[in-house]
Amino acid sequence: MTTPLIVAIEPNPQQASHLRSIARRLTVTLLLVESMARALELLNERLPDLILTPALLSRRDDVALAERLRGLGEAAAHIHTLTIPILDAPDPPPHARGMLSSLRRAKVPEAGLGTPVIDAFAEQIALYLERASDARPAHPAPVGVTEIPVPIEIPVPIEIPVPMAPEVATPDDSRFFDPEQCRFAALLAKLDEITREG
């Protein structure tokens, strides 16, 4: 079994430090980059199982990542993306109100453990990695090579030439030629021919 790979786009050194500690705890390979451009370059080398993006990712970078993953096709179908929360929030002032401030005051991290936010994020990463592992293809295609779709052959209708029936002159209608009668006679002749062959 291969070690799961995470690519994290995180320019903040403090956040990056927390991500490294999560990676050690989960025993995964973590590639930290500071920009989306570098992350997209890494996708040419090896496909990760999870891409961690900063909360304030620009729309342009978001679109670039989505297009790159879409361009990889089936090879990237197992890759998940996850937004990195603020992992090192400062302690709230004593007069702060709200649910999050009361949780921060109530939970004091034990020795050797991270804050509740870091622990919850580590659990979320583990869940996403498990999903990626289940969805990963057994024999992944090489990076940068997408499957070439096989064109579907659409049968071209074959036109069967219908012979024109000889013009039949009747005693009372010898001067006029009716094309409808001629086509009908030709169709009847073709049906007779098909019936004899079948």
Residues of the chain with CATH 3.40.50.2300: 5-135
Residue 102 tokens read as 């009361």
The confidence score (pLDDT) of residue 23 equals: 92
The confidence score (pLDDT) of residue 181 equals: 63
Region of residue 103 (phi > 0: left; psi between -120 and 50: alpha; otherwise: beta): alpha
SS3 9: strand
The confidence score (pLDDT) of residue 46 equals: 87
The confidence score (pLDDT) of residue 95 equals: 59
**Which CATH architecture best describes the domain 5-135?**
3-Layer(aba) Sandwich (3.40)
**Cβ atoms of residues 14 and 37 within 8 Å:** no
Instruction: State phi, psi for 99 to the nearest 5 degrees.
Output: -65, -45
pLDDT in tens, the chain (198 residues): 578 999 999 999 999 999 999 999 999 999 999 999 999 999 888 899 999 999 888 899 999 999 999 998 888 888 989 999 988 755 555 555 665 555 555 444 443 446 888 888 999 999 999 888 888 766 554 444 444 444 455 555 556 565 665 555 555 554 545 556 667 677 778 888 888 876
Interatomic CA distance for residues 184 and 170, integer angstroms: 17
pTM for this prediction: 0.58
Kind plus residue range of the DSSP H or E element containing 80: strand 80-84
Q: Tokens 């057994």 map to which residue?
A: 138
Residue 164 tokens read as 């024109």
Region of residue 113 (phi > 0: left; psi between -120 and 50: alpha; otherwise: beta): beta
